[in-house]
Structure 1
Amino acid sequence: AVADVPVALAYYVDRLGFTCDWSFDEAGVTFVAQVSRAGCEIILGSQWPDRNGQSTLFVSLDLPVLEALRDELETRKVDIEAGWWGYDLMIVADPDGNRLYFPYPNAEVVEAS
């Protein structure tokens, strides 16, 4: 969930390179929108304010595609975090704190002991 759909929509389109597929507006207010990029679709909604910023989405990409995406996002000045989920991750957080996790493929998984 997001606090302000137009703000989130602008971030996903302008900063992350998604396309807006559709939106639902009522009385001049946008409540829901869908963005997509390369077959990944995300619905942005503001109907659940108690859930703002609590979403995590894992996006699996082949290594050359992930590396190209990282280069593109760095060029767009997107903040990228390094993460760990038993393997290395590239993490991007939207303005509400929702997180996109991009695992590095073929990374060796280390078991916690």
Structure 2
Amino acid sequence: MTEWFARAILAVTDVEASLRFYIDQLGFSSPWRFDDDGRALVAQVERQGTALILAHNWPDQVGKGLIFISLNVEPETPDALATALDELRSEFESKGVVVKNGRWGYRLLVVEDPDGNQLLFNYAADNEPGKSA
């Protein structure tokens, strides 16, 4: 059986600036980058199973990325997921990241990178304020 591995590509204006944001503020690491003339043109960032490519190659696509990221938590309950996302929100905000609330049929935690690409983290559908599980 063949397994697939996917990495989303986010178009950014400045790979160096994006690397600083993803590493310093979102807690990603960067296993590799491609430099030309001392300037980063492409780099990968990773965190807990999520891998993203930051690339300067498509200026007409800058800021148009939407990445949906699901957290796998143990135990797999709506309350555990909500707690994990609340902790993630606190971590991001403590590092100066603006975190927004969103909706897509359920609550989302939304983070925009410096170019406007969005990372969407989902809460469990039945963990809505005012709704019982």
TM-score relative to the length of structure 2: 0.77
Q: Residues 28-107 of structure 1 correspond to what in structure 2 (within 5 A)?
A: 28-61=38-71, 62=73, 63=81, 64-107=83-126
Match of 2:21 in 1: 11
CA contact (8 A) 1:56 1:101 kept: yes
Structure 2: distance between partners of 1:59 and 1:107: 18
- Work out the percentage of aligned pairs sharing the same amino acid: 46
User: Where do 5+ consecutive residues of structure 2 fail to align?
Assistant: 1-10, 74-80, 129-133
**Aligned-partner residue type, residue 56 of structure 1:** L
**Aligned-partner residue type, residue 94 of structure 1:** D
Greater Rg by CA: 2
**Shift in Å, 1:32:** 0.3
Please identify runs of 4+ aligned residues in structure 1 that moved more than 6 A.
Answer: none
RMSD (Å), alpha carbons: 1.4
Structure 1: distance between partners of 2:43 and 2:126: 34
Structure 1: distance between partners of 2:122 and 2:23: 22
Aligned length: 109
CA contact (8 A) 1:60 1:105 kept: no
Structure 2: distance between partners of 1:31 and 1:66: 32
**Shift in Å, 1:87:** 0.7
CA contact (8 A) 1:81 1:90 kept: yes
